[in-house]
Chains A and B, each alone.
Chain A
Amino acid sequence: DTGVSQDPRHKITKRGQNVTFRCDPISEHNRLYWYRQTLGQGPEFLTYFQNEAQLEKSRLLSDRFSAERPKGSFSTLEIQRTEQGDSAMYLCASSSTVGTGVNIQYFGAGTRLSVL
């Protein structure tokens, strides 16, 4: 069990560029979540998938953001036309519906985005 893996760990981009992040969940975890964390704050929920279906999106997820999980395994989060306000840590988590029913979300190390 290798844990939740996120790539890249760091991304520096210029305002207006598009960026894409990848998340590989713990194997056989059917739920996958994206959070955003800004400096001095706790993570804020963005969206989650159960298998390949995107079941909830936060109001924080503007039209410039899109997330996919095409085969129910890895997920990508794309930000189009980046703005300086998008600078943050983007965290991915996964969980399983199998077992005790307590939905423990296990997080990756995050992708730190800096928009110049």
Chain B
Amino acid sequence: AQKITQTQPGMFVQEKEAVTLDCTYDTSDPSYGLFWYKQPSSGEMIFLIYQGSYDQQNATEGRYSLNFQKARKSANLVISASQLGDSAMYFCAMRDPSGGYQKVTFGTGTKLQVIP
């Protein structure tokens, strides 16, 4: 069974600084996809970034980048130049091969608080 582990329940970062949110995963499937979502207090899950297991380069989307270390099975999210609006829950997730890769398995999340 696939598993996503986020070991940081909460993180603080100073505004304008960079922060890394940790994610490790476990799967026996050679083909998988990893996602990061942001969930503000309003509740909506906002897609941030995607990394495929066969992608040669680390994914980047604006201030978000994914530090993908396949051998270590880690997919850490790096947020550069933190902003107050980045305060939210962040979830790492993996596409599950069961059910034709339609199911996404989520970690327990990291609560990020940006300090002015």
Contact = CB atoms under 8 A, between A and B. Distances in A.
A108 B102 contact: no
A105 B47 contact: yes
Contacts, number: 61
B50 A44 contact: no
Given A102-B33, A103-B102, A42 B93 contact: yes
Contacts of A113: none
B99 interface: yes
Contacts of B106: 42-44
A103 B44 contact: no
B95 A103 contact: yes
A43 to B, nearest CB: 5
Nearest to B9: A40
Contact of B33 (A42, A43, A103, A109): A103
Nearest to A58: B103
Nearest to B46: A107
Contacts of B109: 41-42
A72 to B, nearest CB: 16
Interface string A11-38: 0000000000000000000010100000
27 contacts: A31-B102, A33-B102, A41-B108, A42-B91, A42-B107, A43-B45, A43-B91, A43-B104, A44-B106, A45-B96, A45-B103, A45-B105, A48-B99, A48-B103, A55-B99, A56-B99, A56-B100, A56-B103, A103-B33, A104-B35, A106-B47, A107-B47, A109-B43, A109-B44, A110-B43, A110-B44, A112-B43
Interface of B: 4, 33, 35, 37, 42-47, 50, 52, 91, 93, 95-96, 99-109
